[in-house]
Amino acid sequence: MSENQLRKETTEPQQTAKASTTLPDVETLSSLTNVPYVDTHTHLHYVLDRLPEKFGVCTYQDLKERYCPPNLEACINVLCDPLSFTSDEIFPNTHSDWKVMANTSFIYLAAGVHPHNSKDYNDYVENKMRKILQHPKTVALGEIGLDYHYNISPRDIQKKVFIKQIELAKELNKPLVVHTREAEQDTFDILIKYVPKDWKIHVHCFTDSPQFAKDLLDHFPNLYIGITGVVTFGSARNTQETVRYVVPFNRFLLETDAPYMIPSKLNRNKKSKDKVTICHSGMIPFVAQRISELMNKDIDEVMQAARENTRNMYERKTIRY
């Protein structure tokens, strides 16, 4: 999700959402499992932007300690808009400052220009992004890729910028976080042409066809499929079938893509004023619960497998947990 999109969503409608949102209590989020976990893809700076003052959340530590279950170990916070790359200059010493994120003990970073913002890519943006990518707590380049659902940036520019950032990842020896939506063939063609077969790849928030997932997994032995709260949606047939029939137990990752993709069970049978409208990293157990149902596994097994998969994707020595 790009920051430009976020701004469109956070004018007057956002104020209504902020006034009416609720958050699940820690007991609810802790009720499913106690296995430690990592949220492998989140935008916690957007979460803090959206949370009303009534929750009293001023820092990432506040959010973790007061609203997340104690088994949350770490998060990979994704910066995917050019504005975020200069946040240390524009919003110094605030939660929007990427250096503040990096200095928070449980937060790691990924940085890359989202396909929606491909039209804004230039040398200045790349140089600012490089600075973040060279920070020791930045574990990947992304999210980058193609999004043909919205076409906010022209498709030819999306492809050029995707390739350019893949080359940068190879130069810096960074794993890739890939965003792909309704662009299966072009995404696959670019990946197999430009990315070494053994490269570490996290295909984030997978919603495309099960066959596409199989093609990716078969070609790239170190590619992982990221599963968000989308898997809990009644309409998410592709994601559910991918989890049930395609993804091996050692090739999936748990993520929230917060503040988006709220697990559906958290809002079941609730009135509008009681609904949760903001996702955060504490909601991962509800994603794992749905995966456990689809895979016919115990939820603790799913959590343990995801934790080991995260270690393998992002290197045991990189994320300390």
For 231, half-sphere exposure in the C-beta direction (CA atoms, 13 angstrom radius) is 32
pLDDT one-digit tens code per residue, 64-121: 999 999 999 999 999 999 999 999 999 999 999 999 999 999 999 999 999 999 999 9
Which tens digit of pLDDT belongs to each residue from 192-203? Answer: 999 999 999 999
What is the pLDDT confidence band of residue 19, given thresholds at 50, 70 and 90? low
pTM of the prediction? 0.93
216: left (phi > 0), else alpha (psi -120 to 50), else beta? alpha
Q: Find, among 10, 23, 31, the residue nearest to 276 by Cα.
A: 23
The response to whether 43 counts as a known ligand-binding position is: yes
- Is 8 contained in some domain? no
| Spatial separation of the C-alpha atoms in residues 316 and 314, rounded to whole Å | 7
Q: What is the DSSP letter of 242?
A: I
Any domain includes 283:
yes
Q: How far is CA 299 from the centre of its chain?
A: 21
**Is 20 a domain residue?**
no
The per-residue pLDDT for range 199-239, each reduced to its tens digit, is 999 999 999 999 999 999 999 999 999 999 999 999 999 99
pLDDT in the model for residue 7: 31
179 is in an annotated binding site: yes
Assign residue 215 a region (left: φ > 0; alpha: ψ between -120 and 50; beta: otherwise): alpha
CA angle 132–221–177, rounded 5-degree value: 25
143 marked among binding-site residues: yes
Q: Which helix (H) or strand (E) holds 283?
A: none
Environment class of residue 164 by beta-carbon count within 10 Å: exposed (0-12), middle (13-18) or buried (19+)? Answer: middle
Answer yes or no: is 135 a known binding residue.
Answer: no
Predicted local distance difference test score (pLDDT) of residue 20: 78
Assigned domain for 18 exists: no
| Residue 170 lies inside a defined structural domain of this protein | yes
Taking residues 32-39, what's their average pLDDT? Answer: 98
- 45 annotated as a binding-site residue: no
What tokens does 225 get?
A: 């499929």
Instruction: Look at residue 317 and tell me whether its pLDDT is greater than 80.
Output: no
d(CA 220, CA 289): 27
Q: Which of 50-54, 173-177, 220-224, 269-273 has the lowest mean pLDDT?
A: 269-273
Q: Give the number of domains in the chain.
A: 1
Region of residue 172 (left: phi > 0; alpha: psi -120 to 50; beta: else): alpha
* Domain of residue 159, CATH code: 3.20.20.140
| Residue 276 DSSP SS3 | coil
The CA distances from residue 154 to 146, 147, 166, 189, 282, in Å, are 10, 10, 18, 18, 36
In a domain, 264, yes or no: yes
Asked whether residue 190 is domain-assigned, the answer is yes
**Residue 59, domain extent:** 25-314
Residue 99 covered by a domain:
yes
Instruction: Report how many helices (DSSP H) and strands (DSSP E) the chain contains, helices first.
Output: 15, 8
Q: Does the annotation place 257 within a ligand binding site? A: yes
